[in-house]
Homo-oligomer: A and B are copies of this chain.
């Protein structure tokens, strides 16, 4: 699906940054609306989706596998002749037109949709290797798989407490490792460990969480991270609780710049991401129409 960098034009009406569910849903609507757009992604779109064993809440398709769904998404794009350009965006200069800087190439776009997902830049040792094998990021999605088992929830924000409380009803044992200092509101059955994670350990699947002075025997580890500050990508972008601040129309603080999916904050769910992507594209189309008529 990926195309040659040389085929990139200098200017587009719309650039969609990110090829996860939000970016793909945005591209689909941009295509249906016959817009001149480019979908900038990575070589492998949505590894997170790919590693999800079962998606329980993609309405109409109960317990579909993450990789199967991902393939169907890619097929859908192919069928509509939407290609994904492998292009890592390093910087965006405000517009219109916005200037999107890559490593070896730049391009202009009158409107931009950020669908960059949540960053997993500081991975724990073992996290990448055991992703989908006991390591997960979405408790609502995968939680039920850990019925009567032991899990650890490593959280960079208070959001993790809701997730832990949810798991306390399901699991034999829930450990909670907070990477923040606020007071905790946790179910009494949850055991708090105020330690640093040294690594996630296991051969086939997660076996234990290494806290240095202590080893926790667990079947699953969920990691709830703050989002990579997207204001590093474009200056002047308002953030809220570590996510790109958007209104209900998915408009950011910068006119012509929209955001959709995990990068706009929790919940980190497929259906939320896809819905926002679809909406952002239509709002961008409206913005482009207004731009032309002024």
A62 in complex: contacting residue of B21, B76, B283, CB < 8 Å: B76
20 inter-chain pairs at a CB distance below 8 angstroms, sorted by A residue, are A28-B56, A32-B144, A33-B140, A33-B166, A59-B72, A59-B274, A60-B72, A60-B73, A62-B75, A162-B289, A165-B289, A248-B264, A266-B282, A267-B279, A269-B278, A269-B282, A272-B278, A272-B279, A275-B275, A275-B276
Say yes or no: A57 contacts B72, CB within 8 Å. Answer: no
* Cα separation A273 to B282 with both chains bound (whole Å): 14
A198 within 8 A of B: no
A contact face: mostly helix, strand, loop, or mixed? helix
Which residue from chain B places its CB closest to the CB of A268 in the assembled complex?
A: B282
Could you tell me the distance between the alpha carbons of A57 and B21 in the complex, rounded to whole angstroms?
Answer: 12
A151-174: CB near B (< 8 Å → 1, else 0) gives 000000000001001100100000
The answer to whether A32 touches B60, judged by C-beta atoms less than 8 angstroms apart, is: no
**CA–CA, A140 and B246, complex, Å:** 24
- A1-47 with Cβ < 8 A to chain B: 21, 24-25, 28-29, 32-34
Q: Which residue of B lies closest to A278 (CB)?
A: B271
Closest to A28 in B: B57
CB distance from A223 to the nearest CB of B (A): 18
Which residues on B sit within 8 Å (CB–CB) of A188?
A: none
Distance from A194 Cβ to chain B, minimum over Cβ atoms (Å): 21
Q: Are B76 and A61 in contact (CB under 8 A)?
A: yes
With A140-B29, A144-B32, A269-B278 as known contacts, state yes or no: A162 contacts B286, CB within 8 Å.
Answer: yes
Residues on the B chain within 8 Å of A169, using CB: 34
Give the Cβ gap from A251 to chain B, nearest Cβ, in Å. 10
Query: Which residues of A in the span 272-294 have a Cβ within 8 Å of any Cβ on B?
Result: 272-276, 278-279, 282-283, 285-286, 289, 293
Is residue A90 contacting chain B, with contact meaning CB distance below 8 A? no
In the assembled complex, the Cα of A29 lies from the Cα of B166 at a distance in Å of 13
- When the two chains form their complex, are residues B274 and A271 in contact, meaning their CB atoms are under 8 A apart? yes
Residue-by-residue, is A108-123 near B (CB-CB < 8 Å gives 1, otherwise 0)? Answer: 0000000000000000
Picked from B61, B162, B271, B279, the residue with its CB within 8 Å of the CB of A285 is: B162
Distance A265 CA – B62 CA, assembled complex (angstroms): 28
CA distance A275 to B29 in the complex (A): 15
